[in-house]
Every structure is written in structure tokens, then in C-alpha cells.
């Protein structure tokens, strides 16, 4: 499941090493890879290309918001991915996961709720049931 070759679009613009600790919020654009520790919120630009990847060495204590998230480490806070979340076998989430599309490997742990994001454009409602006696509905 996680053995796909990285696409040519997947690139890392920012790398935080395993021995690096950050205390404070982080905002990023493009590709951001974390091997270290962040005590604060992490927010990716809302364009479709922003991607956060957290290795099994990485840990975030705070909320995470990015269009695309690949997690194989620990997040102690809520995750909000407007596009896609991939949880690897060693992923640990202590919080809720908001997602449009989710892919989870065997072994991933989530201690919170999975909340599906509605992918319909704002202002469009899901059609409800139509009564049989409504005009324009043929009787059977």
C-alpha cells in the first residue's frame, strides 16, 4: 500500500532533522518533511501542492493543517487535511482526523474521531428524498 514510487511532483522544500526541536508554530508552502520534534501547530498553505510528511522519528505536539499529509510518526493534536491523509504502519494520532481521502496501513493508531470532509463545493446541498406525490415524479 505504501510502496508507490514518489511522483515527480513530490519534492521536499523544507527538512527538519531528527535532532532538531522547534518550540512554536510552523507555517510552510510546498513540501515539508519532519524527522524532528515540533511543539506547536503546523499549517501548510491551502494550495493543493502543499504536503507534510512526518517520519517515524518525527513528532508534533499541536494541531496539523495541510492539504496532503503523510504520517508515520506521532501527532498529539487534531489533523485537518483538505485533500488526503496517508497513515503509515507506525503512525500514532492522539486527536481527531478530518479528511477528504484517507489511506491507513495496518498498525496505524488513531485515538480520536475520523471525520470526513464534505468534498462538494460550498452552497451545494445533497439531494434529499423526493416524495412520491411531488410534481414531476411519475407514479409506479
57-97 tens-digit pLDDT:
999 999 999 999 999 999 999 999 999 999 999 999 999 99
Domain span at residue 40? 14-116
Q: Is residue 121 part of a domain?
A: no
Q: Is residue 137 part of a domain?
A: no
Element (H, E) at 53: strand 51-54
Cell of 2: 505504501
Q: Is 28 helix (H, G, I), strand (E, B) or coil?
A: strand
Decide: pTM greater than 0.75: yes
Q: Is residue 57 part of a domain?
A: yes
How many domains are contained in the chain? Answer: 1
79-89 tens-digit pLDDT:
999 999 999 99
- Cα→Cα distances 42→23, 72, 94, 133, 139, Å: 11, 16, 15, 52, 55
Q: Is residue 35 part of a domain?
A: yes
Distance (Å, whole) CA 12 – CA 120: 30
Distance (Å, whole) CA 80 – CA 60: 14
Amino acid at each position: 500500500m505504501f510502496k508507490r514510487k514518489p511522483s515527480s511532483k513530490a519534492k521536499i522544500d523544507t527538512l527538519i532533522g531528527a535532532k532538531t526541536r522547534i518550540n512554536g508554530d510552523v507555517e510552510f508552502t510546498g513540501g515539508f518533511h519532519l524527522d524532528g520534534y515540533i511543539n506547536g501547530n503546523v499549517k501548510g498553505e491551502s494550495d493543493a501542492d502543499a504536503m507534510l510528511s512526518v517520519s517515524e522519528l518525527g513528532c508534533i505536539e499541536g494541531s496539523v493543517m495541510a492539504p496532503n499529509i503523510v504520517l508515520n510518526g506521532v501527532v498529539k493534536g487534531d489533523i485537518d487535511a483538505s485533500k488526503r491523509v496517508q497513515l503509515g504502519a507506525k503512525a500514532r494520532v492522539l486527536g481527531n482526523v478530518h479528511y477528504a481521502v484517507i489511506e491507513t496501513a495496518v498498525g496505524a493508531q488513531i485515538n480520536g474521531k475520523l471525520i470526513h470532509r464534505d468534498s462538494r463545493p460550498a452552497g451545494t446541498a445533497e439531494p434529499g428524498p423526493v416524495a412520491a406525490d411531488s410534481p414531476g415524479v411519475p407514479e409506479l
